[in-house]
Every structure is written in structure tokens, then in C-alpha cells.
């Protein structure tokens, strides 16, 4: 954890700003330029973490720096907490908060690991899915076996793994794990209205990713699926000899897969993992045994309220710059640290960040728009001043 503060405004409110400096792993061969040597091309800076979330770290520092250089002081007290484990679900963050409640005490909190709907349309994050991660290993033999010598009488771990993975899904693209949807609450009418206001076009996703079809249960709209429905995704899978060149004529004796679930409403990560383990054990082909590696650091789902001062100050800052009311959107991803802040410090960390959804978070050739740096700096400065002014008026 990296902590820093400016506390020379006694009697004024304190704002806690969260961001994270760690990044997702890279597959270096898929990058056009080295992922850890940032390169500016056409007004975009390319590099791992450029958007998610070095942008949040730098923007907020630069906003505060600008105010200090201009005015010699800030209108409110500011505390920075920069997380180094967000990408693995911030497994130690809650503990850290509990141990440092006094140090981190604040009246308002912002999450700088956030995004705007587009370059010209602002948005406020009203909900996050939770997440849970599971790794499992299918074993059919103590060793790989020669595919000629043993092929036809010996179980194949790659095949067993594939059969297990195929069993996770119904033909309609839903999750076939028993009980998986039991704690999912139907989308409310208010949430459906929120979705209607978002000018979402599924062909944009398809252009962005190069996909040829949408997937999932199309009785729900795409945004409803991503914001309010849970998922079970295979995020990695390996068996046998898979180096790019050559091949090994073996029947693999073991195979590995990693699962990430995105959770909603009352779904609980460890309950969901239990259901998946039960499903695997039940659907495991003869001759295969499965072992599990339970990854800590899943996150619970989280929803943010409207109509609070904290919501309004963020909304006002965005309105001031963009000249229009921000869309209220939810998100399909998880930021475990945010629910920790909410639960431990008892403040809602509203998101105020300037990433954009096409900036290839977690993928190769991630980038951040240089124009968003200046924009973010201005909006953060306005937010701090506006909050100080409004809170000052309330005190009179």
C-alpha cells in the first residue's frame, strides 16, 4: 500500500482517493511494442496499465500538484491510498483498512480506477459485479504417456478437462451448475430504465473485439447480462505440450483450468465455488480425479446510492466539464477494494476516473488517451474546490 496525505486544512472535510498501481500479467508476444516501455502514438500512450490504473494514480497526483503549485494549498484535506494488489482482488486490503482506520478516516471517498462512458458523455458507476476465482487440476495418470503405446486404453486428461468444461454450460449459453442462479434477484424496473438511457450498440463491442456474435442468454439484453447477471468464464486452460513449435505425442496425465465467476446481488463467492466443486466432482469422467486451488481475494457485488451529497459532488464535477448530466451505469467487473472501503470506513467510494472501455484493459496493446490526462486533472481540481465550497456553505 502506498499512502500519502495533505492535512493542512483543519476543520475542512477530508477526501480519500483510491487508485491502484499493479497491473495484469502480459503475453508479451501479442504486443506491438514492449508493454513496459510506454510509447506515445497518435495522442495515445501505449503500455501495460496505461489506462488500468496508472492513469488513476497519476491524474489525481497531478490534480493536487497543480492546486498546490497555484494556490500553495488545497481547499480540503486529501488522503491517497494506492493499492498494489487490485488485480488479484486486493486480498490484504480489508485487513490493512481495519488496522489503519484512524489514518484513513475521511468524509468522502473517490475511486480513481474508473471510466467515462465516452469522450463526450460522462457517467457514474452505480454497481459492480462481484468475483470469485477457482483453479482446478484434472489428473488421469501420474505421468504423460506415449500416445501410440497407450492410446486406446488410457484416459486422457485434456479430454476429461474438456468434457468437464463443456458440462458447465447449457445449450442456451447459461451456466448449468446446479444452484448457480438461486440467489440472483431479477433486475428492477429502475435498473431497466437506467439501461434504456445508455446508448449501447452491441455492434460496437463486436467491432472492438472482432467477435462475430454475442453470446449468453439473449432473453436478457446485453447490458442486463453484463451488469446484473452472473457468469462462469474459463480464463486459462492448459494440458500436454503446447510450446509454439513442435509437438509431443503424449496422452497428457494432467490438465489445468482457471475459472472466474462474476457475481451479482446476494451471490456469495465461497458458496458459488462450493457449487462448482460439487458440479465438477459429479461430472468428472471415469479415471479422472480433480484437485482444487482456492484463490483468495474474490469480491462481493456492490451497489451505490443516488441522492447523496457524495453522489452529487461527483455528478456536479462531471456536469461542469461535459455540460451534461452523467449517465448512471453499472459495470460487469469487480473492484474488491471498493466494498472494503464501504464496509470498513463506512463511506461510499464513488468512481471518478477517465479510462475508456476501448482502451484494452487486461489485453495486449493497452493504451490511455493523453487528452484524458488534462481532462481528469481539471475535473478533480473542480471536484475538490466544489466540495469545499458546498460543505463550507452547509456549515454556515
Q: If phi over 0 gives left and psi between -120 and 50 gives alpha, with beta otherwise, what is residue 365?
A: left
Binding mask 13-32 for a copy of itself (x = CB under 8 A): -----------xx-x--x--
Instruction: State yes or no: residue 226 binds a copy of itself (CB under 8 A).
Output: yes
Question: Which segment (42-50, 318-326, 362-370, 388-396) binds a copy of itself by CB under 8 A?
Answer: 362-370
End-to-end CA distance of the chain: 37
CB neighbours of residue 18 within 10 Å: 28
Of the candidates 114, 66, 78, the residue with the CA atom closest to the CA atom of residue 6: 78
Residue 97 C-alpha cell reads as 483498512
Environment class of 333 (CB within 10 Å of its CB; exposed 0-12, middle 13-18, buried 19+): middle
Cβ partners under 8 Å of residue 376, min gap 6 = 55, 59, 60, 63, 353, 354
Least distance to a copy of itself, CB of residue 336, Å:
12
Least distance to a copy of itself, CB of residue 97, Å:
22
Query: Which of 35, 56, 155, 298 touches a copy of itself by CB under 8 A?
Result: 155
Instruction: State yes or no: residue 85 binds a copy of itself (CB under 8 A).
Output: no
Of the candidates 313, 309, 373, 362, the residue with the CA atom closest to the CA atom of residue 334: 362
Least distance to a copy of itself, CB of residue 77, Å:
32
Instruction: State yes or no: residue 90 binds a copy of itself (CB under 8 A).
Output: no
Instruction: Give yes or no for a contact between 324 and 121, defined as CB atoms under 8 angstroms apart.
Output: yes
**Complex with a copy of itself: residue 215 or 266, whichever CB lies closer:** 215
Cα dist from 308 to 76, 172, 244, 358, 394, whole Å: 19, 40, 55, 30, 14
Instruction: State yes or no: residue 153 binds a copy of itself (CB under 8 A).
Output: yes
Query: Which of 289, 291, 306, 371 touches a copy of itself by CB under 8 A?
Result: 289
Instruction: State yes or no: residue 184 binds a copy of itself (CB under 8 A).
Output: no
The count of chain residues that interact with a copy of itself, using the rule CB under 8 A, is 91
CA 232, 357, 18, 305 dihedral sign is: negative
**Complex with a copy of itself: residue 239 or 267, whichever CB lies closer:** 239
Instruction: State yes or no: residue 198 binds a copy of itself (CB under 8 A).
Output: no
Instruction: State yes or no: residue 159 binds a copy of itself (CB under 8 A).
Output: yes
DSSP state of 316: H
Instruction: Give yes or no for a contact between 19 and 62, defined as CB atoms under 8 angstroms apart.
Output: no
Instruction: State yes or no: residue 125 binds a copy of itself (CB under 8 A).
Output: no
**Complex with a copy of itself: residue 87 or 316, whichever CB lies closer:** 87
- DSSP SS3 for 177: coil
Query: Which of 1, 66, 184, 363 touches a copy of itself by CB under 8 A?
Result: 363
Residue 126 C-alpha cell reads as 452505480
Query: Which of 95, 188, 211, 270 touches a copy of itself by CB under 8 A?
Result: 211
Query: Which of 90, 231, 328, 344 touches a copy of itself by CB under 8 A?
Result: 231
Instruction: State yes or no: residue 296 binds a copy of itself (CB under 8 A).
Output: no
Half-sphere exposure of 137 (CA within 13 A, CB side): 11
Least distance to a copy of itself, CB of residue 53, Å:
13
Instruction: State yes or no: residue 306 binds a copy of itself (CB under 8 A).
Output: no
Binding residues among 317-356 for a copy of itself as defined by CB under 8 A: 331-334
Instruction: Give yes or no for a contact between 119 and 252, defined as CB atoms under 8 angstroms apart.
Output: no
Distance CA 356, CA 366 (A): 11
Instruction: State yes or no: residue 235 binds a copy of itself (CB under 8 A).
Output: yes
Instruction: State yes or no: residue 133 binds a copy of itself (CB under 8 A).
Output: yes
Instruction: Give yes or no for a contact between 97 and 38, defined as CB atoms under 8 angstroms apart.
Output: no
Binding residues among 257-276 for a copy of itself as defined by CB under 8 A: 257-258, 260, 262
Query: Which of 37, 241, 274, 374 touches a copy of itself by CB under 8 A?
Result: 241
Amino acid at each position: 500500500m502506498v499512502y500519502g496525505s495533505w492535512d493542512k486544512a483543519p476543520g475542512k472535510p477530508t477526501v480519500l482517493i483510491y487508485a491502484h498501481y499493479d497491473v495484469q500479467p502480459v503475453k508479451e508476444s501479442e504486443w506491438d511494442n514492449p508493454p513496459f516501455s510506454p510509447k506515445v502514438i497518435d495522442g495515445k500512450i501505449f503500455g501495460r496499465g496505461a489506462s488500468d490504473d496508472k492513469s488513476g494514480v497519476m491524474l489525481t497526483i497531478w490534480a493536487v500538484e497543480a492546486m498546490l503549485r497555484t494556490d500553495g494549498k488545497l481547499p480540503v484535506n486529501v488522503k491517497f491510498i494506492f493499492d498494489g494488489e487490485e488485480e488479484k482482488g486486493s486480498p490484504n486490503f480489508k485487513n490493512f483498512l481495519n488496522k489503519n482506520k484512524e489514518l484513513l478516516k475521511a468524509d468522502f471517498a473517490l475511486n480513481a480506477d474508473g471510466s467515462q462512458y465516452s469522450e463526450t458523455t460522462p457517467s457514474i458507476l452505480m454497481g459492480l459485479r462481484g468475483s470469485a476465482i477457482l483453479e482446478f487440476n484434472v489428473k488421469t495418470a501420474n505421468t504423460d504417456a506415449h500416445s501410440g503405446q497407450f492410446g486406446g486404453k488410457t484416459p486422457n486428461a485434456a479430454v476429461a478437462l474438456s468434457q468437464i468444461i463443456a458440462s458447465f454450460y447449457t445449450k442456451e449459453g447459461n451456466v448449468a451448475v446446479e444452484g448457480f442462479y438461486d440467489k440472483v434477484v431479477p433486475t428492477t424496473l429502475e435498473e431497466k430504465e437506467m439501461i434504456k438511457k445508455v446508448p449501447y450498440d452491441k455492434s460496437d463491442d463486436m467491432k472492438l473485439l472482432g467477435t462475430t456474435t454475442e453470446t449468453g442468454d439473449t432473453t436478457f439484453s446485453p447490458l442486463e447480462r453484463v451488469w446484473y447477471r452472473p457468469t462462469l468464464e474459463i480464463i486459462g486452460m492448459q494440458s500436454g505440450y503446447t510450446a509454439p513449435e513442435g509437438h509431443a505425442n503424449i496422452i497428457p496425465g494432467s490438465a489445468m483450468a482457471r475459472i472466474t465467476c462474476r457475481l451479482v446481488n446476494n451471490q456469495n463467492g465461497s458458496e458459488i465455488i462450493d457449487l462448482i466443486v460439487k458440479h465438477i466432482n459429479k461430472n468428472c469422467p471415469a479415471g479422472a480425479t480433480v484437485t482444487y486451488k482456492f484463490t483468495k481475494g474474490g469480491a462481493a457485488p456492490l451497489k451505490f446510492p443516488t441522492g447523496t451529497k457524495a453522489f452529487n459532488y461527483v455528478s456536479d464535477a462531471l456536469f461542469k466539464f461535459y455540460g451534461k448530466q452523467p449517465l448512471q451505469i453499472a459495470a460487469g467487473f469487480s473492484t474488491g477494494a471498493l466494498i472494503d472501503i464501504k464496509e470498513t470506513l463506512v463511506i461510499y467510494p464513488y468512481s471518478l476516473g477517465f479510462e475508456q472501455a476501448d482502451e484494452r484493459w487486461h489485453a495486449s496493446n493497452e493504451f490511455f488517451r493523453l487528452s484524458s490526462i488534462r481532462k481528469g486533472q481539471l475535473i478533480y481540481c473542480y471536484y475538490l474546490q466544489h466540495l469545499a465550497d458546498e460543505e463550507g456553505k452547509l456549515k454556515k
